Structure 1
Amino acid sequence: MADEFARIRRLPPYVFAEVNQMKARLRAAGRDIIDLGMGNPDTPTPAHIVDKLVEAVRDPKTHRYSQSRGIPGLRRAASSYYRRRFGVEIDPETEVVVTIGSKEGLANLASAITTPGDVILVPNPSYPIHPYGFVIAGANIRHVPHGPGYDFLAELEYAVRHTSPKPVAMVLNYPGNPTSEVIDVAQYEKLVAFARRHEMYILSDLAYAEVYFDGVPPPSILSVPGARDLAVEFTSLSKTYNMAGWRVGFAAGNRRLIQALAKIKSYLDYGQFTPVQVAGAAALNGPQDCVEEMRTLYRERRDVLVEGLHGIGWPVPTPKASMFCWAPIPDEFKHLGSLEFSKLLLARADVAVSPGIGFGEYGDGYVRIAMVENKHRIRQAVRNIKRFFKEYREEQALKPAEALEEVR
């Protein structure tokens, strides 16, 4: 028998595991680690959503198998959300599928539409499921440089010209994870025109649509006329309503892609637990002041983090959306690469971040900092990093003198 299964061989070592193991060891040793690594919301799900779950779970009828494509009430709620938020009419019967989180939906759609050997265009850096959902499905990935310093559309054109066979689909993610990048409808129009010209589908990840700052709501690709001819969009309730552990989201858009996802899910699952879906509908249909509170929370944390890092000589860009800061590694540490720099921050400053290399080779000059601790803890993290920077610089200044003593 083979030592390792073929699909597992195609998956690289999980970079984040090394940092996570180190974090666990330090905590076991009694260290107070400030964890700004994983994008895991730290605040509770709003009470009215929890109450609806409890109400639904007390009904024995909800304990039976659910529907793999989602209960009608949640699909209607998703349709209403698109109408209210984006001015887009979505047919809840043919253009929506409920997913067990956006991650599951994207991975299952990749399996549904991919033939082994197909080529998929994926931004790099990107959230790991974006390339590896397709890798698991047997596709080949063409990584497209993306983020600060790159013209993404020009890079896409270059990739198509130099790829054989012709790509069948491309992945988009705005607001971006990890880059926090946002685009407007005009840029979406160019991407839709590009996909139409090259006869490819678009899979758009909109998980951070509601985590935006400075009053500019991120648009949906489905707002572009004709986008539903070739695009499907994945949305999650995880960040919007602090429901990360509930694992509920939905896909909306192109009927052919939605039908493919619904069919493959019918063989794989019976859908999310019905009370969770009922609560998801309550989240989308109910009072939305909790969403504005969530935005205010992350905006305040963002400002504390960015201002604090600027104050200690680490000039990081101010994210316009998402719960992440995509931070260039300070010049004096760039030679280490993102993994070693992340380990150094953990060992010397008790601060955990995500190494950019975990999101692709073009992310290696960055670390992703998640705003998942309160403002007090974020200020403490900045103080810890400031102390570490000072100690590191003092150590580096001593090295030439030490080397001279050795020569003597």
Structure 2
Amino acid sequence: MPRLSSRFSAFPVYPLAHIPARKKALVAAGVDVIDLGAGDADLPPPAGAVAALQAAAEVPAMQRYGFGLGHVPFREAISGWMQTRFGHRVDPLTEVVPLLGSKEGLAHIAFAYLGAGDVAIIPDPAYQAYLGGALMSEATPYVYALRPRTEFLVDLDEIPADVLARTRVLYLNYPNNPTAAIAPRAYLEHVVRLCRERDILLVYDNAYSEMGFDGYVPPSIFEIDGARDVAIEFHSLSKTYNMTGWRCAWAVAKPEIAGALTKVKSFTDTGQYLGIQAAGVAAIESWGEFVPRNRAVFAQRRDAAVAAFRANGFSCESPAATMYLWIPLPEGIASADFCDRLREEQGVIAMPGSGFGAGGEGFFRISFIQDGPRIAEAARRAGVVLSAMLAAEPRSPGAHTS
């Protein structure tokens, strides 16, 4: 039997890996499953994107390799949107990198900037692509626990000086998955200043930039003075346009940084299907009309989710952004135990905080990706499990939520 590499052995179990099989088994057994696990809404994408993909399928030239260049109108649409949305002008040919979903780009950028002995600062809990990129690059991850005491922000002033001295990459994601936290402008200014002083690449995952509520408008990192020197920002069609399975996204950075990611990708893929990039153009062109309507649906679902979980014994904040509630559990209840019981006993799929990293223990995440009545029923079932676990003795070990 061939021996696995030490690099591979360092990978944790991916938090969603076993969920699809268990969901399929539960459905086959006749269970009424309510899936609030993945951030994968039950809403349709823009009709124009579907029509553009259908039309592209009939065009012979669209069936060829896209390579790194891809569909130039897609690059141009991205450039125009970045200018309209954030006031940040980018060159479509040298400062935009089309991606097969932002996940691969977030991991691949590490290959250009990290190696043995280097440090990548990784929020914990976090999207596992950050950790994956660092581990595959044989760098040393420095995991920083996101907790309520820092408002779920990475406080760089708490990181030891010797770690900062070896840090080459900092991953940040605000609005944040899974905690739904947002970052104040003063915080982002401090981060950019420190990254410039220490020559650290700031990898800014902005997948939820169009999911702000109650008047909150998430910024681009490029709205911060000096960010262009050190940052690369990632965007995706997945959440903004309900196009998760299409795997279409992009990164934006100055030519030197964008070019580094492009070079890495030239060894790992030959580009997104051109027809999907054409659909991406149509999606972006629908932004002004589609996104406000879509966001209003999520705002209604957020309000329904907050009310329902509070009514069933949970304490949770109303998030200013994202499609998630990050819900604390009582001390002594482990998040994996709670979510396992919720799934197996009540047919509700939620994500344990520990699945996103040890720093997430004491919380679980639900995605408000179904309508209000289904969310209310999921919350009712979650309350049944919570009550049973609180009544049981002895209680399973868990972490305090402070």
Structure-1-length-normalised TM-score:
0.91
Q: How does 1:300-379 map to 2 (within 5 A)?
A: 300-329=300-329, 331=330, 334-379=331-376
* 2:334 aligned partner, one-letter code: G
Displacement of 1:160: 4.1
After superposition, the Cα gap between the structure-2 partners of 1:101 and 1:217, relative to the gap in structure 1 and judged at 3 Å, is same
Deviations 1:30-63 (A, max 9, x none): 1111111111121111111111111122111111
Query: What one-letter code is carried by the residue in structure 1 that aligns with 2:372?
Result: K
Q: Distance in 1 between matches of 2:256 and 2:210?
A: 27
| 1:17 match: secondary structure | coil
The letter for the 2-side match of 1:8 is F
8 Å Cα contact 1:185-1:223 kept in structure 2: no
Unaligned runs of 5+ in 2: 395-402
Q: Could you tell me which residue of structure 2 aligns to residue 89 of structure 1? A: 89
Q: Which residue of 2 aligns with 1:299?
A: 299
Any idea what the Cα deviations from partners look like across 1:265-301, whole Å, max 9, x if unmatched?
1222221000110110121123532111110111111
- Consecutive unaligned residues of structure 1, counting only runs of 5 or more, are 400-408
Specify the SS of the correspondent of 2:204: strand
Counterparts of 1:265-304 in structure 2 under 5 Å? Answer: 265-286=265-286, 288-304=288-304
RMSD after superposition: 2.0
> Any residues of structure 2 matched to 1:152-171 within 5 Å, and which?
155-163=155-163, 166-171=166-171
Following superposition, the deviation at residue 145 of structure 1 comes to 2.1
- Residue identity opposite 2:368 in structure 1: M
Aligned ranges 1:240-279 → 2 under 5 Å: 240-279=240-279
Q: Please give the alpha-carbon distance, in whole angstroms, between the structure 2 residues aligned to 1:218 and 1:155.
A: 20
Question: 1:67: Cα distance to partner?
Answer: 2.8
1:124 counterpart residue number:
124
The CA distance in 2 between the partners of 1:43 and 1:24, in whole Å, is 21
Report the counterpart of residue 402 of structure 1 in structure 2. none
- Shift of residue 69, structure 1, vs aligned partner: 3.8
Letter in 2 for 1:171: Y
Larger deviation: 281-290 or 369-378? 281-290
Q: How far apart are the structure 2 equivalents of 1:146 and 1:189?
A: 19
Deviation at 1:154, TM superposition (A): 7.4
Q: Tell me the distance in 2 between the aligned counterparts of 1:192 and 1:309.
A: 37
Equivalent pair of 2:338/2:385 in contact (CA under 8 Å): no
1:146-167 Cα offsets, whole Å, 9 max, x none, are 2421267773223241427610
Residue 327 of structure 1: SS of its match in structure 2? strand
Amino acid at match of 1:145: A
Amino acid at match of 1:345: L
Looking at structure 1, the residues matched to 90 and 191 of structure 2 have their Cα atoms a distance apart, in angstroms, of 21
What's 2:194 paired with?
194
Q: Distance in 1 between matches of 2:48 and 2:153?
A: 43
Paired residue type of 1:12: P
Distance 1:264 1:132 in 2: 15
How far apart are 1:231 and its partner, in Å?
0.3
Cα distance, 1:99 vs. partner?
Answer: 0.6
Answer yes or no: is the 8 Å Cα contact 1:19–1:342 preserved in 2: no
3-state SS of 1:123 partner:
strand
Find the counterpart in structure 2 of residue 210 from structure 1: 210
Q: Offset at 1:98?
A: 0.6
Helix, strand or coil for the counterpart of 1:75? helix
Q: Could you tell me how far apart the structure 2 residues matched to 1:322 and 1:221 are?
A: 17
Which protein is bigger by CA-based radius of gyration? 1
Contact 2:153–2:183 (8 Å) recurs in 1:
no
1:354-392 per-position Cα deviation (integer Å, ceiling 9, x unaligned): 010111111011101011112221121122223444555
Q: Which moved more, 1:161-170 or 1:144-153?
A: 144-153
> CA shift at 1:263, angstroms?
1.2
Name the residue aligned to 1:404.
Answer: none
CA distances 1:324-343 after superposition (whole Å, capped 9, x unpaired) = 111111x2xx3231111111
CA contact (8 A) 1:36 1:369 kept: yes
CA contact (8 A) 1:182 1:320 kept: yes
Identity of paired residues, percent?
36
Could you tell me whether the CA contact under 8 Å between 1:118 and 1:165 is conserved in 2?
no
Cα distance, 1:166–1:5 mapped onto 2, change above 3 Å: closer
Q: Secondary structure at the match of 2:309?
A: helix
| Residue in 2 that maps onto 1:179 | 179
Cα distance in 1 for residues equivalent to 2:304 and 2:87:
34
The letter of the residue matching 2:383 is K
CA shift in 2, pair 1:335/1:96, >3 Å: same
Structure 2 counterpart of 1:368, which letter? R
SS at match of 2:103: helix
Quote the residue 2:49 is aligned against: 49
Alignment match, 2:73: 73
> Residue 190 of structure 2: SS of its match in structure 1?
helix
The count of corresponding residues between Structure 1 and Structure 2 is: 394
Letter in 1 for 2:244: A
CA contact (8 A) 2:208 2:239 kept: yes
Kindly provide the amino acid, as one letter, of the partner of residue 207 in structure 1. A
Q: Could you tell me which residue of structure 1 aligns to residue 400 of structure 2? A: none
CA contact (8 A) 1:144 1:156 kept: no
Following the alignment from structure 2 to structure 1, what is the Cα–Cα distance between the partners of residues 15 and 119?
24
